[in-house]
Amino acid sequence: MSNNNLKVALVQHSNSDNLEDNFEKSLSGIRQAATQGAKLVVLQELHRSLYFCQTENTDLFDLAEVIPGPSTNELGELAKELNIVIVASLFEKRATGLYHNTAVVIESDGSIAGKYRKMHIPDDPGFYEKFYFTPGDLGFEPIQTSVGKLGVLVCWDQWFPEGARLMAMAGAELLIYPTAIGWDPRDDKDEQIRQRDAWMIAQRAHAVSNGVPVISVNRVGHESDPSNQSEGIQFWGNSFVAGPQGELLAHGSEEQEEILVVEIDQNRSESVRRIWPYLRDRRIDHYQDLCKIYRD
């Protein structure tokens, strides 16, 4: 097989209540990644702002923006200048009173290659996303780019094997998860380790089950709870890239802002799927009950 390597970068950083500073961190990270040869750069979930879903506050809908809009325009100019593909994560204002948690893929010519609206929306203490985001309606459709067919999902989606499988079945060559996940500081260390390990195991399993690399980008730093009902969220970083057998190709730190750059051998998916042919052996004639909530 011919050489088919792709250099990818993950931009992991902390956020503040200064939108311009946050966006500048993302843009600076993209530039640094490009100088290291990255052709695909992935940003963390909702990288423009604090993770605002710790409380339910109607004023925070002001953070939303249209797509195309100011952020996609600036990212498009940068993508064109650097000749790279960018995966960004934005709070999308689709219409008055209708908002999505949306990942946007910017092509290397500056155009929007496509977008994905987060399908699984959590509603847990400190993660009140159902208040802000309408569930996505674009389905699990990969986005074709000059660096391959990207299966872009978002954060909570990463726990669901169905989304990963459907992306892979539609030809996704990479699974990509912009993320904002962290600990409740009140949890003890053992519980924190279990949660972080489960997060990584679940996504590495998607790589194994589908024979494709997985890219997951998380933020770092502590963000306080504006309502003072909790001790906020300590985002745990650990951004990583896994190969098609779940092997770790790159792994970020727990607390540091950093840019991870790693080369992915896209031919390995072909090799791995030949020895582990899960798609061949699926028993679709017996999976009808997967379309039920539960088998009572």
Each residue of 116-140: pLDDT tens digit?
Answer: 999 999 999 999 999 999 999 999 9
Alpha-carbon torsion angle 29, 140, 243, 145, nearest 10: -60
Are 44 and 258 in contact by the 8 Å Cβ rule? The answer is no
Name residues whose C-beta falls within 8 Å of residue 259's C-beta, 6 or more positions apart in sequence.
9, 10, 11, 12, 29, 32, 33, 36
What is the mean pLDDT of the segment spanning 212-237?
97
257 annotated active-site = no
CA distance 167 to 149: 10
Does position 2 have pLDDT exceeding 70, yes or no? no
Q: Which of 90, 205, 110, 209 is nearest to 152 (CA)?
A: 90
Residue 51 lies in a domain: yes
Total number of domains constituting the chain: 1
Q: What is the pLDDT of residues 41-59, one digit of tens each?
A: 999 999 999 999 999 999 9
Q: Which of 98, 86, 102, 93 is nearest to 43 (CA)?
A: 86
CATH number at residue 211: 3.60.110.10
Residue 268 lies in a domain: yes
77 annotated active-site = no
Residue 221, number of CB atoms within 10 A of its CB = 18
What's the pLDDT band for 4 if we cut at 50, 70, 90? Answer: confident
The token duo for 162 is 């169905």
* pTM, to two decimals: 0.97
Residue 296 lies in a domain: no
CA distance 211 to 270: 8
CA distance 8 to 215: 9
Does position 1 have pLDDT exceeding 50, yes or no? no
Candidate list 118, 129, 173, 223, residue with the active-site label: 118
Residue 286, number of CB atoms within 10 A of its CB = 8
155 annotated active-site = yes
Q: What is the pLDDT of residues 229-269, one digit of tens each?
A: 999 999 999 999 999 999 999 999 999 999 999 999 999 99
Query: How big is the chain by its Cα radius of gyration, in Å?
Result: 18
Candidate list 53, 155, 173, 223, residue with the active-site label: 155
CA distance 292 to 94: 30
Print the domain residue range for 190. Answer: 5-291
What's the pLDDT band for 97 if we cut at 50, 70, 90? Answer: very high
Average model confidence (pLDDT) for the chain?
97
Residue 175 lies in a domain: yes
What's the pLDDT band for 3 if we cut at 50, 70, 90? Answer: low
Candidate list 45, 92, 129, 223, residue with the active-site label: 45
